[in-house]
Structure 1
Amino acid sequence: MKRKSLFALSAVVVVAAAALVPVLWSGGDNLHNGTAVAATPADQAALVKKGEYLARAGDCIACHTVRGGKQFAGGLPMATPFGTMFTPNITPDDQYGIGKWTQDDFYRAMHTGRSKDGSLLYPGFPFTSYTKVTRADSDAIYAYLRSIPPVAVPSRPHELKFPFNQRNMLIGWRTLFFREGEYKPDPTKSVEWNRGAYLIEGLGHCGMCHTSINAMGGPVSSAAFAGGLIPLQNWYAPSLTSNKEAGLGDWETKDIADLLKTGVSNRGAVFGPMAEVVHNSLQYMSDADINAMATYLKTIPQKSEAPEPMQLETSEKFGGELLKQGQKIYADNCAKCHADNGLGMPPAFPPLANNQSIQMPSAVNPIRMVLNGGYPPSTDANPHPYGMPPFAQSLSNQEVAAVVTYIRMSWGNHGTAVSPQQVSDLRSAPLD
């Protein structure tokens, strides 16, 4: 799901944010004799707190904070097929940040993808999802962002190749891929289901990673939530619509909720970009909202087949040789944690048998885990997660291919053999 930057044209975060103004005015209930009345300090504090929670739900900090830098000061480089983009400073600094934005400016950016001056924002700022956010929630996020300390750090200009540095090109992109409008509840569904849909489709912008993108950086709408390779990030966001991948139709709602909230469950653990989403965002969400998201995710229509990603194939004979070689490598390196029968010891050591993420058509994620290792996120409910050690230095490309082939084809798993060439390609790929 969050959703951490999609390294394509739709992977650039160019967010508009809040202005620092002295008084928040509200209409409706706060009108007295036709005159606007300022919100009380208690009301304002509650609004800021709500906005902080919603900003967590949107995982704003992930893209707008450089590791070790000031929060929301921007500057995060984001490599895309079209050049390098740099996230902006969204602190309420008048000179370098967004201190002169108003509530209306902020809502327009969220809802329509237009900046304060009316210019078009790049769709890496996920306005295609944020357009579903209500005005009330937008105003709360605005109130929170204007309450944070201003940071006097200039935003670095993007380094895009021609013609992608021409913003007027976005007019055509928007015509094809953007539909403006707040989320409309489905009256045939429960309040909990609608809350989950609002969070997943709106602030959570989960479809940005779990939906394939085309050559123009636009989502393939016919394959919503059906998975896709995240360009240049070298992780595969699995399909949520196919039980052959990460389809959730046969999961218990509790297992989905546990995975979202803590990063581990009896069905598996999250690594890579999704681990960052859990660490930065989902672990801070209320149990009620997590359960609502799990309820919605469980009802996403399931399809018999996942989209077929690009996969380097091996011959049947060579695949058999890899399988045999991989059995010994697994016994020597993996069985201690994941057990001879592949059942592991969940949630500390995830099962590999009957694990959809292991046997997906794309073998990108298990190859990366064997090469680079990793940890599930550290969360309040799981503060000391068990990790996977890296084997890039101790196993050759063929040995990694062999052990991944073994776990994809053993214990009833129905995956296919992988190629040492694919391992070689991923070994040389950047880790972030």
Structure 2
Amino acid sequence: VDIPWPLSMRWPLGAWRVLFAPKVQAFDGSHYNDAIVARGAYLVQGLGHCGACHTPRARTMQELALTDLEGDDFLAGGGPIDGWVPSSLRGNPRTGLGNWSEDDIVQFLKSGRNLRTAAFGGMTDVVQHSMQHMNDADLLAIARYLKTLPSSDPKETAYAYDPAAAHKLQNGDASARGAAVYRDNCMACHRSDGRGYTRVFPALGGNPVVQGKDPTSLIHVLLAGSALEGTKSSPSSFTMPAFGWRLSDQEVADVSTFVRASWGNTGAPVSAEDVAKVRKTVTV
């Protein structure tokens, strides 16, 4: 497809590069006291270019930080990409990696799944074509480096599991907003306790994606589904079916609100208007 004028002009990129692109220079890991952490920083900031998705951008499209030395914006969560919202890779206790161990991170990068969540959207390509082929030493280095990054939101409280929603569902009480939709469409895989099945169907309680400020990713996966392909270390493939063809915008909003407010989650309610906006951008 031809790019229309004036977007087809290339010379503005030269000006943008002068303003925002860093000078090419060798990686300097001297400010990291641990050689493994330094190796992780090199992989994350360079070859992995994790910030391209997971760091927020200015209106002029440059990343707000290119390394952890440039502030807490680095890897603090990016804006929507192809209908998915990359989450924070910092130590945020609810919406980032604050409650993850180094092994949680390694397992996720190697297999696309761990006891807390599963890959979706663009991250499935990252795991399939890149991360699963890395050796354990490099994956550990990445994990150890990410665990050095403090939370970007000091006001964010730690996650604590709350069994109240599970008890109600187990006792046949589906009176909460979205609970009946959850019972009829989601509970067989994600269970009444929201804990799913480890490395098969991801937990929803405490899941950073579920609790994020922007519910776009949650809405997207409900509408269009997602496929978790097998990897070398976890060869089984699992698929979440699409529900957009049979659930209305209001029903998707209701079940999204339910999972964002259950099992100790603290996500804000979702409206039918929020769902309608995402529906326009995805294939259902």
TM superposition score category, shorter chain reference:
0.7 to 0.9
Q: Deviation at 1:416? A: 1.0
| In structure 2, distance between residues paired with 1:269 and 1:387 | 11
Pairwise CA distance, 1:401: 0.5
Q: 1:295 aligns with which of 121, 138, 144?
A: 144
Distance 1:188 1:200, change over 3 A: closer
Instruction: Return 275-284 or 218-227, whichever deviates more.
Output: 218-227
Q: Which one-letter code corresponds to 1:278 in the other structure?
A: V
Over 6 Å off, 4+ runs: none
* Matched residue, 2:192: 340
The Cα of 1:293 is off from its aligned counterpart by 0.8
CA contact (8 A) 2:224 2:282 kept: no
Letter in 2 for 1:300: L
Counterparts of residues 99-110 of structure 1 (less than 5 Å): none
Query: Distance between the aligned counterparts of 1:334 and 1:206, measured in 2?
Result: 31
| Alpha-carbon shift at residue 378 of structure 1 (Å) | 1.9
Counterpart of 1:169 in structure 2: which amino acid?
P
Q: In the alignment, is the contact (CA less than 8 A) between 2:253 and 2:275 conserved in 1?
A: yes
1:4-23 alignment runs, 5 A limit: none
Query: 2:97 is aligned with what amino acid?
Result: L
Please, which moves more after superposition, 358-367 or 216-225? 216-225
Identity over aligned pairs, percent: 38
Structure 1 residue aligned with 2:50: 206
Find the counterpart in structure 1 of residue 29 from structure 2. 185
Q: Is the 1:258–1:264 Cα contact (8 Å) retained in structure 2? A: yes
Q: Is residue 164 of structure 1 aligned with residue 7 of structure 2?
A: yes
Displacement of 1:242 = 5.1
Distance 1:183 1:399, change over 3 A: same
Partner of residue 223 from structure 1, selected from 67, 73, 94: 73
Counterpart of 1:271 in structure 2 is 120
> Structure 1 length normalisation: TM-score?
0.57
1:241 is displaced (CA, Å) by 2.5
2:202 to 350, 362, 379: 350
Deviation at 1:305, TM superposition (A): 5.7
- Bigger CA radius of gyration: 1
Counterpart Cα distance in 1 of 2:252 and 2:97: 29
Q: Which amino acid aligns with 1:168?
A: W
Deviation readout 1:48-85 (Å, 9 max, x if unpaired): xxxxxxxxxxxxxxxxxxxxxxxxxxxxxxxxxxxxxx
Do the aligned partners of residues 193 and 300 (structure 1) sit closer, same or farther apart at CA in structure 2, a change above 3 Å counting? same
Q: Of 78, 85, 97, which residue of structure 2 is paired with 1:248? A: 97
CA distance, structure 2, for counterparts of residue 238 and residue 368 of structure 1: 14
Query: Pick from 383, 386, 400: which aligns with 2:252?
Result: 400
> Per-residue displacement from partner, 1:366-412 (whole Å, max 9, x unpaired)?
11111111122321111113221110111111000000000001122
Quote the Cα distance in structure 2 between the aligned partners of 1:288 and 1:192: 9
Alpha-carbon offset, residue 162 of structure 1: 3.1
**Match in the other structure for 1:258:** 107
CA distance in 1, matches of 2:181, 2:247: 9
User: Counterpart of 1:378 in structure 2: which amino acid?
Assistant: G
TM-score, length basis structure 2: 0.85
Task: Give yes or no for contact 1:243–1:356 (8 Å, CA) kept in 2.
Answer: no
Task: Quote the offset at 1:226 in angstroms.
Answer: 1.2
Q: Which residue of 2 aligns with 1:417?
A: 269
CA distance, structure 2, for counterparts of residue 333 and residue 346 of structure 1: 19
Is the 2:54–2:76 contact (alpha carbons within 8 Å) kept by the matching residues of 1?
yes
User: Once the 2 structures are TM-superposed, how far is the Cα of residue 340 of structure 1 from its aligned partner?
Assistant: 0.8
Q: Does the aligned pair in 2 maintain the 1:378–1:384 contact within 8 Å?
A: yes
Over 3 Å counting, the alpha-carbon distance change for 1:212 and 1:245 in structure 2 is farther
Indicate if the aligned counterparts of 2:88 and 2:97 stay in contact, CA closer than 8 A: no
Q: Which runs of 5+ in 2 are unaligned?
A: 66-71, 157-174
Q: Is contact 1:241–1:300 with CA below 8 Å preserved after alignment?
A: yes
Q: Write out per-residue CA displacement over residues 189-243 of structure 1, whole angstroms, 9 at most, x where no aligned residue.
A: 2221111111111011110001122232211226221112234x11101122252
C-alpha separation in 2, matches of 1:286 and 1:352: 29
Matches within 5 A, 1:106-145: none
CA RMSD of aligned residues (A): 2.2
Mapped partners of 1:305, 1:168: distance in 2 = 42
Contact 2:177 2:257 in 1 (8 A): no
Q: SS of 1:193's equivalent?
A: helix
Q: Kindly indicate whether the alpha-carbon contact (under 8 Å) linking 1:244 and 1:306 is maintained by their aligned counterparts in 2.
A: no
CA distance in 1, matches of 2:53, 2:154: 19
Q: Classify the secondary structure of the residue corresponding to 2:79.
A: strand
